[in-house]
């Protein structure tokens, strides 16, 4: 029983950490002129692993909604599900177009792909769209984000602070 | 084993979307070229500007290419900060526009039954 309770707790913690990492990576990769193209490409590619973990942690929800999508699902879950698919598709388009115009990663691996002038505008467009979709995704999960931050960031910090104060008072 | 299966499904979905995108982009490019030739149009660049696809990088006239490969023209700390704040700002605005009315609506719903009691 206790194990069952601690599992979601650690999962939520892990999810929060992964989501923060993804958000930070996204912010850095959104500005390749500042980070440099090498960091931009390697960081974005390594973010695939974090995105896979993010999807694995939400797997039960994805399966549940996929099964019930046509039938009985509340409106918000349906919107969330469609939005998540749009994010997945857009993220994949960013990755593919990024690989097609790669200047650092693929040449380093010795891979050369045929050039096509469509990929660059597609990369820019899908990245800008991703920013909007990410805003929507964040907004729809705002309650969860606030709860998780309260529980795993603010409360532990407050506890540390108050424990120190109590120690000072008793001394 | 279960986790490997899940990862496999995610990667398959990833590859399928990539494949569809690649086909769509190539098909649209081919159809554009066909329409140009059917209309008797020529590509917009002259002989000396014609891109040679043997080059490592090809740039087309009219683009925002400034003579340096993309990403090499790095900005200072100010530019980096501006980009960062701009991106956070966009996400924050979208979030506030949606999350705030939802929270207000939920609070009103919660307070309505309490007021009637």
The tokens describing A143, both together, are 């309650």
Checking if the pLDDT of B67 tops 90, the result is no
Nearest to A33 by CA among A110, A135, A127: A127
Checking if the pLDDT of B11 tops 90, the result is yes
Q: Above pLDDT 90, what percent of chain B? A: 26
CA distances from A148 to A19, A33, A141, B32 (A): 11, 33, 11, 50
Distance between CA atoms of residues B42 and B39, nearest Å? 9
Task: Give B81 to chain A, closest Cα distance, Å.
Answer: 9
**Which conformational region is residue A153 in: left (phi greater than 0), alpha (psi within -120 to 50 degrees), or beta?**
alpha
Which of A22, A33, A58, A83 is most worth mutating to test chain B (most B CB atoms within 10 A of its CB)?
A33
Residue range B85-98, pLDDT digits in tens:
888 999 999 999 99
User: How many residues can be counted in chain A?
Assistant: 171
Q: Which residues in B lie closer than 8 A to residue A113 (C-beta atoms)?
A: none
Domain boundaries along the sequence of chain A: 2-140, 144-171
Q: Give the pTM.
A: 0.77
Q: Which residues in B lie closer than 8 A to residue A101 (C-beta atoms)?
A: 70
pLDDT tens, N- to C-terminus, chain A (171 residues) = 444 556 677 888 899 999 999 999 998 898 888 888 999 999 999 999 999 999 999 999 899 888 887 777 788 888 999 999 999 999 999 999 999 999 989 989 998 888 778 899 999 999 999 999 999 999 999 989 999 999 988 888 888 888 777 767 676
Q: Hey, how many other C-beta atoms are within 10 angstroms of the C-beta on A117?
A: 14
Decide if B25 and A118 are in contact by the 8 Å CB cutoff. yes
Question: What b/e string do you get for A25-56 counting C-beta neighbours within 10 Å, with b at 16 or more?
Answer: bbbbbbbbbbbebeebbebbbebeebbbbbbb
Checking if the pLDDT of B66 tops 50, the result is no
Question: ipTM higher than 0.85?
Answer: no
Residue A42's pLDDT is what? 94
Per-residue pLDDT band at B62 (split at 50, 70, 90)? very low
Distance between CA atoms of residues A67 and A171, nearest Å? 60
Task: Give A6 to chain B, closest Cα distance, Å.
Answer: 20
Cβ pair A60, B105 in contact under 8 A: no
Distance between CA atoms of residues B4 and A2, nearest Å? 27
């Amino acid at each position: 029983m206790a194990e069952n309770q601690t599992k979601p707790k650690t999962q939520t913690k892990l999810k929060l950490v992964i989501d923060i990492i993804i958000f930070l990576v996204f912010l850095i990769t959104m500005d390749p002129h500042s980070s440099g193209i090498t960091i931009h490409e390697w960081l974005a590619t390594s973010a695939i692993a974090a995105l896979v973990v993010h999807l694995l942690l939400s797997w039960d929800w994805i399966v549940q909604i996929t099964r019930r999508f046509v039938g009985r699902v509340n409106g918000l879950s349906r919107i969330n599900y469609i939005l998540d698919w749009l994010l997945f598709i857009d993220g994949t388009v960013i990755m593919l177009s990024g690989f097609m115009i790669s200047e650092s990663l693929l040449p380093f691996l010795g891979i050369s792909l045929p050039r096509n002038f469509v990929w660059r505008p597609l990369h820019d467009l899908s990245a800008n769209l991703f920013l909007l979709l990410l805003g929507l995704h964040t907004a729809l999960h705002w309650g969860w984000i606030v709860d998780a931050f309260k529980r795993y960031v603010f409360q532990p910090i407050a506890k540390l602070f108050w424990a120190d104060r109590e120690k000072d008072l008793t001394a | 084993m279960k986790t490997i299966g899940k990862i496999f499904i995610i990667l398959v979905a990833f590859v399928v979307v990539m494949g569809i995108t690649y086909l769509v982009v190539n098909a649209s490019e081919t159809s554009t070229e066909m329409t140009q030739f059917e209309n008797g149009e020529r590509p917009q660049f002259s002989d000396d500007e014609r891109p040679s696809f043997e080059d490592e990088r090809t740039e087309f006239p009219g683009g925002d290419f400034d003579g340096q490969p993309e990403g090499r023209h790095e900005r200072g700390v100010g530019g980096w900060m501006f980009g960062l704040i701009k991106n956070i700002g966009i996400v924050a605005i979208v979030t506030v526009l949606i999350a705030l009315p939802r929270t207000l609506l939920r609070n009103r719903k919660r307070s309505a039954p309490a007021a009637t009691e």
